[in-house]
Amino acid sequence: VALAESIGEALRSDQFDVHYQPIIDLASGTPIGVEALVRWQHPTLGMVSPAEFVPVAERTGAIDGLGRHVLEVACRQVAAWRRGAPRAAGLYASVNVSPLQMRDGTFPATVRAALERSGLPPQALVMEITESAVVDERTVVPTLIALREQGIRVAVDDFGTGYSSLHLLGRLPVDILKIDRSFVSVLDGTSRSAGIAEAIIRLAGVLELSTVAEGIETPAQSAELQLLGCTAGQGYLLARPQTADRLTATWGARL
């Protein structure tokens, strides 16, 4: 209840930071994108995880304002990186979106406004969605179609967990499957451990989708994913989520 009441105030007093985790081309080590991950610097509680406050924001309706804020900040930051470094010219922003932000028809216009204000082209934006039982597919699918018509790509986050189903995937207009880290962490070099990751990568191939592996923590996992045909990934091995300033300082030359 306390969190619920303070989200609006936290937005007004700028307590939400956006951190960025690079998404890397595994073969070359080059960043191809960054995932925006919101952080709450709470005045008394310290850093609060989005795993705690995003569900609260979804319940109270604050998710719309919070989501708009993250989108605006991330679009501006990635546009700046793209302008600042020739090698970052193709960098994309990958922004998590709650399906609740798509429950009315206004979301595509919200996204278009953020792109126009920042100068980021639609081709440099990926929206990450997790399927949720809360929201009606009939409201989400038309929104995804409208976003893709603008040139924005859509990724299914945490693919293979929760409410993900092949039934739903067949009807979702998407471009990218993000392989959930639970299928990456088990990779131990045996074909049995690789089964699910391999199946997701093959499925993506058949559906002409690309894949991004999440939660890569060891060189062996990165190597195995590449053998399986997954060319992009993120994880603590490659880079942790961090502030834009830190990322610019440590990765500037490669961005």
Q: How far is the CB of 206 from ligand G (least distance, A)?
A: 23
**What character string, x for contact with ligand G (CB under 6 A) and - otherwise, covers 23-62?**
--------------xx----------xxx--x--------
Residue 77 interacting with ligand G (CB under 6 A): no
Which residues are CB-contacts of 69 (< 8 A; sequence separation ≥ 6)? 11, 16
Q: State the burial class of residue 67 (Cβ atoms within 10 Å of its Cβ: 0-12, 13-18, 19+).
A: buried
Which of 58, 64, 157, 198: binder of Mn ion (CB under 5 A)? 157
Which of 6, 77, 98, 221: binder of ligand G (CB under 6 A)? 98
Residue 158 interacting with Na ion (CB under 5 A): yes
Cβ closest to ligand G, residue 70 vs residue 102: 70
Residue 160 interacting with ligand G (CB under 6 A): no
Which of 64, 157, 175, 224: binder of Na ion (CB under 5 A)? 157
Q: How far is the CB of 12 from Mn ion (least distance, A)?
A: 26
The DSSP code sequence of 76-135 is HHHHHHHHH-GGGTT-EEEEEE-GGGGSSTTHHHHHHHHHHHHT--GGGEEEEE---TTS
Residues 7-66 that bind Na ion (CB under 5 A): none
Q: Where are the alpha helices (DSSP H) in the chain?
A: 2-12, 50-60, 63-84, 107-118, 137-149, 166-169, 181-185, 195-206, 219-228, 244-251
Q: Which positions touch Mn ion (CB under 5 A)?
A: 96, 128, 157
